[in-house]
Structure 1
């Protein structure tokens, strides 16, 4: 009878250890899911902004012109380009 009780006690301890390991793993997985959901929300907002930008570019020439001016430095024919330099940012000429 004593052997049976010891065997049952050992089995109970092993099952308890396994149960607590599973709880720790579940907790870790929940944390990973929460982090992934936050990342997904950020990516979704970025995708929405990009979709809006694509729609602007498809809809009219104003967005294309704005991009050409800001990113490529293009100007229209007949316009003059002025570059204003801050004296503090200018490099001293030798």
Structure 2
């Protein structure tokens, strides 16, 4: 009887170890759920960013004047026979 009780206690201890600290434990599952939540949040932010970029692409395709305006602003492009003046503000 004592041997059966000892075997059962050892078996329960092994199972408890696996539940709390082993592979697939509660702690590991909680960490994975947190990672999933963080990645879901990042994905939703990226979806919004992709949507904004898609809208900008459509606007650029439909309106060549907008494309010219952005090129002039970001790249500093000027047309032939134009004079470019750069005004440096005082600090």
TM-score bin, normalised by smaller chain: 0.7 to 0.9
Q: Which moved more, 1:4-13 or 1:72-81?
A: 72-81
SS in structure 2 at match of 1:84 = coil
Stretches of structure 1 lacking an aligned partner (at least 5 in a row)? 89-94
The equivalent residue for 1:56 is 59
Q: Which moved more, 1:31-40 or 1:76-85?
A: 76-85
- The two structures have a TM-score, normalised by structure 2, of 0.84
Q: How far 1:77 moved relative to its partner?
A: 5.2
Aligned CA RMSD, in angstroms, stands at 1.6
The equivalent residue for 1:65 is 68
Q: How far 1:67 moved relative to its partner?
A: 1.3
Q: How far 1:64 moved relative to its partner?
A: 0.6
SS in structure 2 at match of 1:75 = coil
What do residues 13-57 of structure 1 show as CA deviations (whole Å, max 9, x unaligned)? 111111113111110110110111011112111111111111011
The equivalent residue for 2:16 is 16
Out of 37, 45, 57, the position equivalent to 1:34 is: 37
Q: How far 1:59 moved relative to its partner?
A: 0.6
- The two structures have a TM-score, normalised by structure 1, of 0.82
Stretches of structure 2 lacking an aligned partner (at least 5 in a row)? none
Q: How far 1:81 moved relative to its partner?
A: 2.6
